[in-house]
Amino acid sequence: MKDLKRHRIGLKATVNLLAVLVLLTLSVGSTVWLIEGQTRRLSTLHQFLLALEVLGLIAVGAMAYLFHVRVLSPLKTLTRDAVAIADGDLDREIEQVNRDDEIGSLTRAVQEMRDQLFDHIEETKTFERAVEETGNAVVITDSNETIEYVNPAFERITGYSEAEALGKTPRILASGETDEEVYEDMWETISAGETWKGELVNRRKTGERQYVQQTIAPIERDGGSTEKYVSISANVTDQKLRNQVLEVFNRVLRHNLRNRVNVVTGNAELVRDRYARRLEQVADDIRASTAAPDGGAVEPDVDMANLAETVDEIAESVHEHTDMVVEAGLRLQELNEKASKADTVTQFTEESGGEQPLSEHLRTERDRVQQEFPEGNITLSIPDAPTIPCKESMRTALSELIENAVEHNDTDEPHVDLTMDVRSESVVVTVADDGPGIPEHERAVLREGEETPLSHGSGLGLWLVYWIVTMNGGRLQIEDREPRGTAVKLFLPLPRGGTETVADGAGND
């Protein structure tokens, strides 16, 4: 730009000089004509000056023509090219000028500016494509935290559209579960002009809890003040959940496997130690009764009734301990099935979709469990309500609750009531039974809010339900019924954008 200004000043001076020459020539001509009118005696001088004037006019015309060809015309062309480039026509070809003067320098400067601008725009487009196509959520805010830009991944991960996010602040994602110390450290870091990295617990628009690895960097002005903030968030929810599940089942499986192996080996040793001696005693009695004093053989004198009774006792005991071994194997098989359920649940990430109406999940699982346990009586009550979308993982939680309510019921005809109640901000699903209730050691998981209270596999199903409900943004509550039984309530958040107006298939089954 400085070269352009310098060339412009030089051209302006040249134009001014030509104007002075023209005015001077005209002034001389006018003076000559006055002198001619007053003094006809100077005819010779008049003719000379007239010739001089004509020559001057010819010279000025020639200079004007040369100025137009050499200066004005190239400048007009260059101006049109510069305006076209400024309007975005970066493919415009600038006419080549093989000159070493100011016009040539100016033309080459405009060409270089166009090439640099083209390269810069291409780099910017490449960066924009990378941001648009990345799998991580990218957010740009102003210095007041107002969101100015979000990429498509932000919409997929958070559930908020671009229109819903622009003009808001990132606090729309806050779950209230991130420690305040984390936020304090974050602001202290970015306020110092440094980049912050850490883990936050956010909440999607639909209410599900979400773990993100976040990086926030300030963009500063030349003076050092912060102009904008750029945030990049990686969704690590799936990884976090799988690690939790693996940790729980690794610990519980080790504990249960160790206990069941002890049952197997203990009973095997018991059979060996206790009844091996009994069999040896029977054999000694038989040998003694068949031996004569002279070493010969005699007719056996054995109480066959007692011998048969002893053998029956041994067989019954072996059968009893074998049943214990089989029971241990069944318990391990049941635990393995729960582990498979939990592993399946971790596959249902936010991006995988697969949402179905909550009422359909309830009907499907009610029908399945009713068919598996025909002796049970399972009722279902669904009120008039909008369609409430529900992730596939919730189907696993409902299946676990309904199945346990029937399977662990000690009455001849287990009775289970399933109800769904839609409230202003949540939907409540209740699974109520008339069984013996949930043991205290299994309820401990709700008070602690984590899997650590589990010391054996009997509480694993409840922990799985608690975990699924929590990750879907809800909570679980257990209430005792009178005179007996338990009611497990699932409080699930309604989508923040509201529910659909299509009927959810109300009715009582």
| pLDDT tens digit sequence for 437-463 | 887 777 765 555 454 444 444 456 787
Token code pair at residue 33:
């004509």
Q: Phi-psi bin for 169: left (phi > 0), alpha (psi -120 to 50), beta?
A: beta
Please provide residue 338's backbone torsions phi and psi, each rounded to the nearest 5 degrees.
Answer: -65, -40
How many angstroms separate the CA atoms of 470 and 464, rounded?
Answer: 10
pLDDT digits (tens, 9 = 90+) for 371-386: 999 998 999 998 876 6
Report the chain's mean pLDDT, rounded to a whole number.
72
**352-508 has which fold?**
Heat Shock Protein 90 (3.30.565)
Hunting for tokens 């318990």 — which residue is that?
331
pLDDT at 321 over 80: no
Q: How confident is the model at residue 366 (pLDDT cuts 50, 70, 90)?
A: very high
CA count, 13 A, side-chain hemisphere, 389: 16
Do the domains spanning 134-235 and 352-508 agree at the CATH topology level? no
pLDDT at 193 over 60: yes
Q: How confident is the model at residue 2 (pLDDT cuts 50, 70, 90)?
A: very low
- The pLDDT assigned to 453 comes to 43
pLDDT digits (tens, 9 = 90+) for 31-49: 555 555 555 555 665 666 6
How many angstroms separate the CA atoms of 325 and 275, rounded?
Answer: 17
Percent of the chain predicted with pLDDT > 70: 47
The pTM assigned to this predicted structure is: 0.51
pLDDT digits (tens, 9 = 90+) for 220-265: 877 778 889 999 998 888 777 777 666 666 666 555 555 655 655 5
| DSSP H/E element including 500 | strand 500-503
**Which strands form 209-220's sheet, in the order they lie side by side?**
147-150, 137-142, 226-235, 209-220, 196-203
- The pLDDT assigned to 274 comes to 61
- The number of beta carbons lying within 10 Å of the beta carbon of residue 94 is 19
Out of 3.90.226.10, 1.20.120.1200, 3.30.450.20, 3.40.50.80, the CATH code matching 134-235 is 3.30.450.20
Q: How confident is the model at residue 502 (pLDDT cuts 50, 70, 90)?
A: very low
How many angstroms separate the CA atoms of 207 and 422, rounded?
Answer: 16
- Spell out the SS3 assignment of 203-259: ECCCCCEEEEEEEEEEEECCCCCEEEEEEEEEECHHHHHHHHHHHHHHHHHHHHHHH
How many angstroms separate the CA atoms of 395 and 362, rounded?
Answer: 8
Which residues on neighbouring strands pair with residue 389, listed in sequence order?
357
Q: How confident is the model at residue 350 (pLDDT cuts 50, 70, 90)?
A: very low
Domain residue limits, the chain: 2-126, 134-235, 241-345, 352-508
By the 8 A CB rule, do 231 and 186 touch?
no
Q: What is the DSSP letter of 493?
A: E
Higher pLDDT among residues 74 and 256, named by residue: 74
Strands, E, within 106-237: which ranges?
A: 137-142, 147-150, 196-203, 209-220, 226-235
- The pLDDT assigned to 431 comes to 94
Q: How confident is the model at residue 391 (pLDDT cuts 50, 70, 90)?
A: confident
How many angstroms separate the CA atoms of 192 and 177, rounded?
Answer: 25
Can you tell me the mean pLDDT for 291-299?
Answer: 51
What radius of gyration do the chain's Cα atoms show?
47
How many angstroms separate the CA atoms of 157 and 414, rounded?
Answer: 43
Distances (CA, A) of 299 to 40, 176, 268: 187, 90, 36
pLDDT digits (tens, 9 = 90+) for 404-445: 899 888 888 999 999 999 888 789 999 999 988 887 777 765
Q: How confident is the model at residue 475 (pLDDT cuts 50, 70, 90)?
A: confident
pLDDT at 396 over 70: yes
| Minimum mean pLDDT range among 3-12, 68-77, 192-201 | 3-12
